[in-house]
Amino acid sequence: MFFQNVYDQNLAQASYFLGCKDKKQAIVIDPQRDISYYLEIAKQQNLTITHVVETHIHADFLAGTPELAAETGAQIYLSAEGGTRWQYEYSHNGLRQGDFIKVGNLSLEVMHTPGHTPESISLLLRDHPASDEPVMIFTGDFVFVGDVGRPDLLEEAAGIQNSKHQSARKLFESLKKFTALPDFVQVWPGHGAGSACGKALGGVPSSTVGYEKLRNWALQYGDDVEGFTNELLAGQPEVPTYFSRMKIWNKQNRPLYAAPNELHQYTIEQLEGRTDIVLLDSRDKTEYAAGHIGNSINIQNKKSMVNWAGWMLDYSKQIVVIAPVEQQQEIVRKLSLIGMDNVVGFVSDISGASLIRTELVDDVKVANLKDEPDVVLMDVRNASEYHRSHIPGAEHFFVGHLPKMERLRTIADKTFIIQCQSGDRASIAYSYLESIGFKNLKLYMGSFVDWESKGRTVTN
């Protein structure tokens, strides 16, 4: 048997490549949209990708299942569980509890594991030449290392009201199937630390059933379904707005992705007066602060870029990105992972343009200004971070909610000091507010980390 974990840091997402070396067949589990990884693995290992399967309808990225099947001729296998509302709308082989996918001398047994989503399945692997005992389980977003999948996405991303408690109880029941497995079975989940699909995901890529039974908080509740439900629903991270779009697109028969052959290069002069585009400045926040183009939004080219682009950028508008030439292909790839294919070009040189400097403040300035009646100290971190500890007098405005936060308009004439944990999210918020016309903005670049390091008072 050949096995490889393909992990994408930008999504904190794991897909898996399994092959039978004897029969030269392979299957890919939960492929991302950039299928080049899987094609290269197949080539290196002299395997043919004959099967592709998903554990559930993904919300946090656009799956590459249609692209991979079109390129390789592989058969598509998708869940047929969960009811009519949760069925895929393009051609595939349906999977139900107890079904098997055979890939050469390997087999994958389907376990219906609802809770995170109604149609969720896990895949129990057997390598028959070695043993008929199961050796691995691919859990998707059902069980993570140290955590389980959140059950509230149906409400938050799919608009199914009052469903999260029922989903939590289904997840509780699904966990009984998991704990009944042999302790030696390896657990390979769909996400790691940094994903919004859970709240306490571990930083290691895999585990075992036995270890999770000992250490996973969700498996310590015995028959106490209410205690489990209350803990599961408490403190989940904010759901990115683009999740609802991914849920829809991953079900549908959508156009296949085609990477652009050429990246159009713009000058700043060519973009002057354009109101039909979003100007994304992907430079480091310190470079942005030193001088940037008006109306640009600063989302740095880091591993979190995909997440914040999904939160802050408009899918209906064309995007032009400010980035050096050597980073441009990488940025196109990153944005394509969430179906953001509306990048029409790049600006690689802004020297000579009329630039705006960000107004920066330090802890002394913040302390002197924050309690003034016409000043709002804006904490743009997650709600859980804010409630754990914050600067006295700070008001909570989560950065991802700013595009839909109507109350901002009622206080637009005030002065805003914007801070987060260490400055990245504050720069996003500052640039977004500036791009929609807010004038009285100040950025506390050091943010909460700097405030605490100076020994200043915090509160919860």
Q: What is the CATH number of the domain that holds 111?
A: 3.60.15.10
pLDDT at 238: 93
- Write the CATH number for 405: 3.40.250.10
**Residue 380 lies inside a defined structural domain of this protein:** yes
**Residue 259 lies inside a defined structural domain of this protein:** no
The per-residue pLDDT string of the chain (460 residues; one tens digit each, 9 = 90 and over) reads: 999 999 999 999 999 999 999 999 999 999 999 999 999 999 999 999 999 999 999 999 999 999 999 999 999 999 999 999 999 999 999 999 999 999 999 999 999 999 999 999 999 999 999 999 999 999 999 999 999 999 998 887 777 778 899 999 999 999 999 999 999 999 999 999 999 899 989 999 999 999 999 999 999 999 999 999 999 999 999 999 999 999 999 999 999 998 888 899 999 999 988 888 999 999 999 999 999 999 999 999 999 999 999 999 999 999 999 999 999 999 999 999 999 999 999 999 998 889 999 999 999 999 999 999 999 999 999 999 999 999 999 999 999 999 999 889 899 999 999 999 999 999 999 999 999 999 999 999 999 999 999 999 999 9
**Residue 459 lies inside a defined structural domain of this protein:** no
SS3 155: helix
Answer yes or no: are the C-beta atoms of 28 and 354 closer than 8 Å. no
pLDDT at 383: 94
pLDDT at 158: 72
Helix axes 164-179, 225-233, angle to 10 degrees: 120
Examine the domain organization and report whether 115 and 213 are in the same domain.
yes
Show which of 323, 347, 371 is a domain's final residue. Answer: 347
pTM attached to this predicted model: 0.95
Show which of 347, 378, 408 is a domain's final residue. Answer: 347
Examine the domain organization and report whether 327 and 394 are in the same domain.
no
Show which of 298, 320, 347 is a domain's final residue. Answer: 347
Examine the domain organization and report whether 247 and 286 are in the same domain.
no
Examine the domain organization and report whether 330 and 431 are in the same domain.
no
Examine the domain organization and report whether 318 and 407 are in the same domain.
no
Examine the domain organization and report whether 142 and 193 are in the same domain.
yes
Examine the domain organization and report whether 272 and 240 are in the same domain.
no
**Residue 352 lies inside a defined structural domain of this protein:** no
Give CA–CA dist 196/191, Å, rounded.
9
In DSSP terms, 150 is beta-bridged to none
Burial of 177 (0-12, 13-18, 19+ CB in 10 A): middle
**Residue 321 lies inside a defined structural domain of this protein:** yes
Examine the domain organization and report whether 112 and 171 are in the same domain.
yes
Longest Cα–Cα distance of the chain, Å, equals 74
**Residue 7 lies inside a defined structural domain of this protein:** yes
**Residue 330 lies inside a defined structural domain of this protein:** yes
Examine the domain organization and report whether 46 and 173 are in the same domain.
yes
Examine the domain organization and report whether 369 and 338 are in the same domain.
no
Answer yes or no: are the C-beta atoms of 389 and 415 closer than 8 Å. no
SS3 197: coil
Cα separations in angstroms, 419 against 152, 360, 362, 390, 444? 28, 11, 11, 10, 5
pLDDT at 418: 98
> Cα–Cα–Cα angle for 196, 199, 205, nearest 5°?
80
Helix axes 424-435, 305-312, angle to 10 degrees: 30
- Domain extent at residue 441: 363-453
**Residue 318 lies inside a defined structural domain of this protein:** yes
Examine the domain organization and report whether 91 and 177 are in the same domain.
yes
Give CA–CA dist 155/166, Å, rounded.
11
pLDDT at 39: 98
Q: Which of 158, 221, 23 is closest to 104 using CA atoms?
A: 23
The DSSP result for 308-353, as a single string, is: HHHHHS-TTSEEEEE--HHHHHHHHHHHHTTT---EEEEE---TTS
The one-letter amino acid code at 183 reads D
